[in-house]
């Protein structure tokens, strides 16, 4: 919206008009002055309205016991190291006020470590932390391993979200033993009523195909073979990753792409015998 100033142009004494951040002469076009100041609000709103004046700080996250609202005493490097080290130590101690929070910090730290090791997205991290917190609220951690519940929460979150990760893949990266993981997952599934179903072999096809560098035609045929294995009952009681690897091996042979049974078994973390058994059953 343009406004007119009372003073004239210093060159031709013409009429000045302020338009946006510039003041120009209507007669000769001289730019008399510019105003680069942003006179809007100092905060940024990511909502559809102006009711959220948040302008600083990291977003809230469920992956930390305090939702990411904690503060830290920084380091300025200007001396008084002993004094500030003592203050930082006391400040850290006040951030964890109970054994429950200490266990939660340790569990969330283990979950974040597993996220990096397994290359899982943030939505799985937040869901895993939420499941761990629910298990703690139901007093399921008493007498059980915190590492076991961390790995079980990650596995359960993957199952609920349909992200293909096997138990062996979780345990390879986790600090928990197989027994601790199984006990924690059973307790969570029983007490929290997790909405999970049996893992389908087709869920693993895309990831295994990417690791084997196989084409789209092989992926489509392997998915059809994996679904056929479920319908025929061959996948019942078998490792879904092994069934997916066998389906990929057969699909690659039919599409003329090169992949060995050992390579297919390696990406699925199963033996070549498992791949060969699935391959022969699907071929029949």
pLDDT in tens, 90-144: 777 766 767 888 888 888 899 999 998 888 888 898 889 999 989 888 889 888 8
> Per-residue confidence at 87, pLDDT binned at 50, 70, 90?
confident
What is the structure's pLDDT at 268? Answer: 84
Give me the chain's average pLDDT, please.
80
d(CA 157, CA 183): 16
Answer with the residue of higher pLDDT: 212 or 84.
212
d(CA 246, CA 232): 15
Has residue 45 got a pLDDT over 90?
Answer: no
- With a CB cutoff of 8 Å and minimum separation 6, the contacts of 13 are none
Taking CA atoms, 115 is separated from 5, 87, 125, 251, in Å, by 61, 32, 6, 31
d(CA 145, CA 107): 10
d(CA 209, CA 219): 6
Q: Where are the alpha helices (DSSP H) in 175-271?
A: 178-192, 202-212, 216-232, 240-254, 261-268
d(CA 50, CA 207): 43
């Amino acid at each position: 919206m343009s406004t007119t100033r009372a003073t004239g142009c210093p060159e031709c004494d013409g009429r000045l008009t302020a338009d946006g951040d510039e003041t120009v002469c209507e007669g000769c076009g001289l730019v008399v002055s510019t105003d680069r100041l942003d006179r809007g609000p100092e905060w940024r709103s990511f909502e559809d309205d102006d009711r959220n004046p948040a302008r600083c700080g990291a977003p809230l996250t469920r992956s930390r016991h305090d939702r990411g609202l904690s503060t830290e005493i920084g380091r300025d490097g200007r001396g008084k190291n002993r004094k500030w080290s003592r203050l930082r130590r006391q400040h850290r101690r006040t951030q964890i006020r109970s054994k429950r929070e200490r266990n939660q910090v340790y569990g969330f730290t283990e979950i974040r470590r597993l996220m990096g090791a397994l290359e899982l997205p943030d939505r799985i991290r937040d869901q895993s932390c939420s499941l761990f917190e629910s298990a703690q609220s139901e007093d399921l951690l008493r007498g059980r391993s915190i590492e076991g519940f961390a790995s079980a929460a990650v596995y359960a979150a993957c199952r609920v979200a349909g992200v293909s990760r096997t138990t062996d893949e979780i345990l390879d990266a986790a600090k928990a033993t197989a027994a601790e993981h199984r006990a924690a997952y059973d307790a969570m599934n029983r007490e929290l009523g997790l909405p999970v179903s049996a893992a389908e072999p087709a869920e693993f096809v895309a990831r295994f195909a990417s690791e084997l560098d196989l084409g789209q035609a092989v992926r489509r045929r392997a998915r059809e073979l994996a679904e056929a294995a479920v319908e025929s009952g061959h996948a019942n009681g078998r490792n879904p990753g092994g069934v997916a690897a066998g389906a990929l091996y057969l699909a690659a042979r039919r599409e003329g792409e090169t992949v060995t049974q050992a390579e297919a078994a390696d990406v699925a973390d199963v033996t070549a015998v498992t791949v060969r058994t699935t391959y022969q059953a699907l071929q029949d």
